[in-house]
Structure 1
């Protein structure tokens, strides 16, 4: 029978579900293992017509137990020892435990006597025993010291020999156990044999708050801003809903801390999202709110095409997505989008055509500094365990203390452009991390810390779609690969074919259509560079060579028209290799022979070096210099 039914779960309406589960099963379970969101505050109904209250876990447990006729609650942890809750019940506790010194810190052997006194009481007194920070009792749950092993063995036996207590009168006169409540960080922190196949021990996970909890909490916290009736104030209601949505991923206790931060900084209720951002990211300055950013993006419509040559469609679409990010409209169609990354781009197309250069241009445009650009070569993350490099190793593994390369960098500076180069080469398990970032805007590293990506721009690049599997017409299956797109093909055809290949890869090869859906229409396809763009790239790279020669050796380098035309023809012959191919051809056809010609000469400052001819002898290029 469900604990939501009136006969089991209806006794404490409005209380957290895990409290109702515990309350409903006190008659059948003698011990409970509580894990998950232990250190949060929780919503509990107020007395009578009073509003709801926010209580820490200890107070919440006590309030629910008190309503079932429990006289007191013993709380033990290794730091504070044994405490009686509430303190006014010390005399009642003495009936079961004997005299307990304040803050007594018993050994594990002595602790078993206190546990037995509560779980098998000699008098009909209802009480509970809370073992806080139980994860710290054993060094490791699978390698116990002798004293630890004896302690847990006794507790396992105690779970089966505990005595239910009947109390005359009150709301629950039938027998209920005096429960032992273990508070652990993770369910696996206790010896597995303590809970395995032990029906007397019930494991309960305490979840993080959902949107409804955050909305109710926001309305309670609005009183700190002088709003006593949110329902009668439409502006305050909207502000509370915005606060609750922005606090996605935070605990209710964190919302309390955000409110304190806002009050300390004299932030109004309507501006609480700024306080949430400061609380999450730990930084006050927000580059996205700088007044000159819109002007810089508008100027970028002229500057970026000069830097990324021959890609008008890709540049235009990228700047459109960037404008959307600056205005805070990324994912605006979603019910809640405030925690998602500022912008997401998926650059696809031929190699060497400006994908990485456009990422750098965006970084300089938004942040004024290319050092905010962070690049990960995903070919280095093809192994199954390579994801630990991004987020850090789990506890107990080598390198756990160092954290992850990605999470550390974003925690240090959340305002970044992050480039994941050649994403198709990453191990499929790493894609799960990207799915979490794209959907929730956050990631938990190996040390358990949450890192937020809500102010970052994520760029994924890929060469998918350049080749596709060839199929044997005789029906024999795949037969190698064939070109899918070629230089000279209309851009519309290139875009359609590459987008189709990207979709096939994520849906059929990886079987991850949900990741493709997160990219949506943010897939930006780059074209092959044309002859005109190739000439411009050649001129820019050739000018860079001449400038370097002048800076390094104070020489004046000129090339006559005929050899320059020959070099241009050689270097721009293979457009499918993109701008990078032009640079490689210039290096082998001009820089190498130039270095060879200059190396044996005695060079003088301001000397004029003129290239009058260029010729090939096999694979070697020679320059004629006067």
Structure 2
């Protein structure tokens, strides 16, 4: 059927691209012709199908059914087709692909989710409920996003609500829906309407301490019964949601005790500092929230202050994303240890944590490289090494430090081509570029004469002739 032809076309296309990468242009030309014939076959098949001339009856498999059900119900496809237990057993590893450090937080969340999935908790309550406490910019929101992607397939399954917008009792109607006769009745609540439309989701209440205390009473019903009645009288089911509250309570003075926002210089200082912060956070939570609210929370997770090494790891994670974007332009990027350290130094703020790091990389690396690419100073086929001038790598004073960008040619594939002279290698690159750009039907044959001519040449300036192109 059409699906089989589509799969064959995809396979041939991958083989063709691999042949081009391997400089095997004769094979690439043959695969191009094969791809063209398969495309014609598909068009004819589709025409027959639309006219009703096909004798065969299409079969619907498990994957297609799961895909349709997923679109109808909002249940992630992997929950229908994959053994969930195998995913849960590797949950920590999956979350740590996005979360640097915070081992205790990741373990606590993973344990709670596994308990729920194993059926060892009240089925009426939400799948999980957590308080993420700690300083700003240490990964509370990022862990929520990673959890949404892991449990429900993508970050769009995260419902994020800024509780600073609900600081008085009259704003509760915006959250849960206005009663009949009031403005906004037909619109539904910001929380209830989103959960009603997407019942499989992570609900993040950001900075919960800023909300009015009357709102906590309504949220108690969600935590206890897993349901809530909106302003229109509809019962909204929260049993398949994960509820997360973030809070900065007890951490306001943390940045004053740690120079430049990093934790103590040795492990003992770091542990002692974390214990003090954890005790203070728990004390502040008990003062601010009623016991019945805290008792309905599965886990209270206090996040660690970030260390210098963890900030550097975050730099590497963000630079990997830049590298993927550059790969589409046939370019690469490498950072020296000094460049990573400088980005970590400039991208961390004692109050905001690691939040400015992304903007720092955009300003210092991406913006500069964009200009150099547009001016033609950097281009395809190059790897750019980013280093630092005017800084010793340790000093807190980085005002005189500047980033440098040094391009070098990407290495040729291993084998025959890596052993050529520069002149012969350049000739091969030109042939490849011409072939790809023009999609030439008759691919020029690269003969041994070309390689011999390049290899036999003497040093530059010795009267050797350039290979014919």
TM-score (norm 2): 0.60
- Structure whose residues are more often helix by fraction: 2
Q: 1:380 to 1:549 in 2, by over 3 A?
A: farther
- Structure whose residues are more often strand by fraction: 1
Q: Secondary structure at the match of 1:451?
A: strand
Q: Secondary structure at the match of 1:328?
A: coil
Once the two structures are TM-superposed, the CA of residue 614 in structure 1 deviates from its matched residue by: 4.4
Q: Partner of 2:358 in structure 1? A: 583
Q: 1:505 to 1:608 in 2, by over 3 A?
A: closer
1:292 aligns with 2:83: yes
Q: Distance in 2 between matches of 1:602 and 1:493?
A: 48
Q: Partner of 1:376 in structure 2? A: 161
Q: Partner of 1:321 in structure 2? A: 112
Q: Partner of 2:312 in structure 1? A: 535
Q: What is the 5 A alignment of 1:509-588? A: 509=288, 512-519=290-297, 522-551=299-328, 554=329, 556-559=331-334, 561=336, 564=339, 567-568=342-343, 570-571=345-346, 577-588=352-363
Q: Distance in 2 between matches of 1:613 and 1:602?
A: 18
Q: Distance in 2 between matches of 1:491 and 1:577?
A: 22
Greater RCO, 1 or 2 (C-alpha within 8 Å, sep 6+): 2
Q: Distance in 2 between matches of 1:393 and 1:497?
A: 40
Q: Distance in 1 between matches of 2:341 and 2:257?
A: 29
1:402 aligns with 2:187: yes
Q: Distance in 2 between matches of 1:582 and 1:295?
A: 34
Q: 1:614 to 1:587 in 2, by over 3 A?
A: farther
Q: Distance in 2 between matches of 1:584 and 1:285?
A: 35
Q: Partner of 2:199 in structure 1? A: 414
Q: 1:538 to 1:562 in 2, by over 3 A?
A: closer
Q: 1:453 to 1:288 in 2, by over 3 A?
A: farther
Q: Distance in 1 between matches of 2:343 and 2:262?
A: 21
Q: Distance in 1 between matches of 2:205 and 2:123?
A: 23
Q: Secondary structure at the match of 1:308?
A: coil
Return the match for 1:490 from 264, 270, 291.
270
Contact 1:422/1:460, CA 8 A, preserved across alignment: yes
Aligned length in residues = 323
Deviates more, 1:575-584 or 1:615-624: 615-624
1:308 aligns with 2:99: yes
Contact 1:499/1:525, CA 8 A, preserved across alignment: no
Q: Distance in 1 between matches of 2:83 and 2:347?
A: 39
Q: Distance in 2 between matches of 1:535 and 1:566?
A: 6
Q: Partner of 2:454 in structure 1? A: none
Q: Distance in 2 between matches of 1:353 and 1:486?
A: 11
Q: Which runs of 5+ in 2 are unaligned?
A: 1-71, 392-397, 408-469
Q: Distance in 2 between matches of 1:285 and 1:543?
A: 31
Once the two structures are TM-superposed, the CA of residue 322 in structure 1 deviates from its matched residue by: 0.7
Contact 2:164/2:211, CA 8 A, preserved across alignment: yes
Q: Distance in 2 between matches of 1:302 and 1:446?
A: 41
Q: Secondary structure at the match of 1:402?
A: coil
Once the two structures are TM-superposed, the CA of residue 308 in structure 1 deviates from its matched residue by: 1.0
The RMSD of aligned alpha carbons is 3.6
Contact 2:75/2:152, CA 8 A, preserved across alignment: no
Once the two structures are TM-superposed, the CA of residue 455 in structure 1 deviates from its matched residue by: 1.9
Q: Which runs of 5+ in 1 are unaligned?
A: 1-281, 331-336, 470-480
TM-score (norm 1): 0.46
CA deviation digits over 1:195-250, x for unaligned, max 9? xxxxxxxxxxxxxxxxxxxxxxxxxxxxxxxxxxxxxxxxxxxxxxxxxxxxxxxx
Q: Secondary structure at the match of 2:97?
A: helix
Return the match for 2:211 from 426, 445, 459.
426
Contact 1:339/1:454, CA 8 A, preserved across alignment: yes
Q: Distance in 2 between matches of 1:416 and 1:288?
A: 13
Contact 2:343/2:360, CA 8 A, preserved across alignment: no
